[in-house]
Amino acid sequence: MLTERVRAVKPSMTLAVIAKVRELKARGVKIFDFGAGEPDFNTADYIKAGAVAALEENFTRYTAAGGILELREAIAARIHKDNQLDYSPDQVIVTNGGKQSIYNALQTLAQNGDEVIIPSPYWVSYPEMVVLADAKPVIVQGSEENEFRVTAAQVEEALTPNTKVFIMNSPQNPTGTVYSREEIEALAQVFVKHGIHIISDEVYDKLRYNPEPHVSIAQISEEMKALTVLVNSLSKTYAMTGWRIGFGAGPKDIIKAMTKIQSQSTSGVNSITQKAALVALSSGDEIIAERTEEFRKRRDFTVKRINSIDGLSCFMPGGAFFLFLSVAGFMDKTFGDAKVTGSIEFATTLLEQKHVAVVPGIGFGAENYIRLSYATGMDDLEEGLNRLEQFLASAGI
Ligand code: GLU
C-alpha cells in the first residue's frame, strides 16, 4: 500500500507537458512549444568545455554532499556581487537545480502541524513539496489587478500560530511579475515581526526587463537575512536546465541540516556538472545580457500579439519568460468536436488540434488560465501565436 503522503501528491504538470512535447517531437511532429519553462538556447561552449576538462582530469568521483568548496566559494562571491550579501562557503549548499534546495529547505523547516504560506498563482512544485514535508500549504491569492502580487496585509491575515514558512518568488513563475523593493520591505516587516522563515526562489533574477535592480528579501535587513534561505539556479541564467545545478544560501544551521538531508538522499551533485558550473560562475556575464535582451524582444512581441487576439489580454510582465493568460471566456465552448470545460482540456485540445503546447493554469493553482512561455525562437512564436488565434476563433465567439 502506498503511503498517504505519496497518494496526496500530484505529479509535476510542467514536467508532464515537457515529456509530452518531447515525445511528440521524437515522433517527428512539429510542435510550437510554449510549454517548457526553459531557455531554447544551448549551454555556451565555454561552459561545456569546463565539463569536458573535468572528465579528462578524471574528476568523476563523489564530491562533498553539499558541493565542492571552490564552487561554494564562487557562489558566495556571486551572491556578494549580485545581492551585496555575505555568506561563508558553509552557508552555501549546491543542489540538483534550485528545486532540490527548496525541497531540502522545506524538509528542514516544516513538519506535521506547520503551515507554509504560498502566494497563488504559484510554481507547480511548492504545495506538493510542502505536502511531502507533512505540512499544510496555505494559499494566499494574488489579484490579477495587482499583477497577481500578494500584499503584506493579505499575508498578515493568513498567519496563524502554526505558520512557519513563506515561499517568496520574484520574478515569479508563472506570471512574470516582479515585486518592487517597497513591496518586499512591507512583506519583510511582517515576517520579521512574526519570526517567519522565507524560502526565496530567485531563479529568474537575471531575467528582468526593467532598470530597477533585483532585490532579494534577504537584503532588506540582517533580521530578514537570518530567516531566509535564498535559492537560485544556473538553469535559466546559463541555459543549463538538464545539468541539474542550483544552490541555496542561508543561516549556517539551516544549510547544515539541508546538507544532512542531501547526504542521506542524493549525495552531492554530479561532479562534472559542478565543474561546469564553476566555469559558468567564474566567467563574464556578457552571455546573460545578450540573452536577456533577446527575451525582452520576444516578450514585447508576444504581449503585443496576445493583446491583438480577440478574447485574450495580458499586462507587460517585468521578468521571467512567461505570460499567464485568462481563458475563462472560452470555457464550455466547442473547438472542432471537443468541448472544453477546464484548463487541462483547453491545453490538450490546443496541442492536439494546433500542435501548440502551453501549461494548464490549474497546475499553478488557477483554473481557467494557461501559462505561455516565450522562451522559444521568433519564427515559432509568430506561427504558434497565429495558430492560437485560429484555435480561439474556431470556438466562434
Ligand atoms: N521550472 C520550469 C517550469 O516551470 C521547469 C520545469 C519544472 O521543474 O517545473 O516550467
User: How far, in Å, is the centroid of ligand 1 from the Cα of 378?
Assistant: 21
Q: Does the pLDDT value for residue 396 go beyond 90? A: no
To which residue does cell 549580485 refer?
82
Q: Does the pLDDT value for residue 34 go beyond 80? A: yes
Nearest CA to ligand 1 atom 2: 37
Q: What number does the ligand 1 atom closest to the CA of 203 have?
A: 1
Q: Does the pLDDT value for residue 10 go beyond 80? A: yes
**Exposed / middle / buried, residue 156 (Cβ in 10 Å: 0-12, 13-18, 19+):** middle
Q: Does the pLDDT value for residue 397 go beyond 80? A: no
- What CA–CA distance (Å, rounded) separates 90 from 254? 10
Which pLDDT tens digit goes with each residue over 207-233? 999 999 999 999 999 999 999 999 999
- Supply the pLDDT for residue 285: 86
For each of the domains in the chain, give its residue range(s) and CATH number, in order of start: 4-42+286-393 (3.90.1150.10), 45-282 (3.40.640.10)
Q: Does the pLDDT value for residue 282 go beyond 80? A: yes
Nearest CA to ligand 1 atom 10: 37
Confidence (pTM): 0.97
Residue whose CB lies within 8 A of the most ligand 1 atoms, among 12, 14, 17, for a mutation test: 14
Residue whose CB lies within 8 A of the most ligand 1 atoms, among 10, 13, 15, for a mutation test: 15
Which pLDDT tens digit goes with each residue over 344-391? 999 999 999 999 999 999 999 999 999 999 999 999 999 999 999 999
Give 36's pLDDT tier (boundaries 50, 70, 90).
confident
DSSP of 169-184: ESSPTTT-----HHHH
Average pLDDT over every residue of 246-265: 98
Average pLDDT over every residue of 135-139: 98
Nearest CA to ligand 1 atom 1: 37
Give 174's pLDDT tier (boundaries 50, 70, 90).
very high
Which pLDDT tens digit goes with each residue over 37-62? 899 999 999 999 999 999 999 999 99
Beta bridge partners of 116: 137, 165
Nearest CA to ligand 1 atom 4: 37
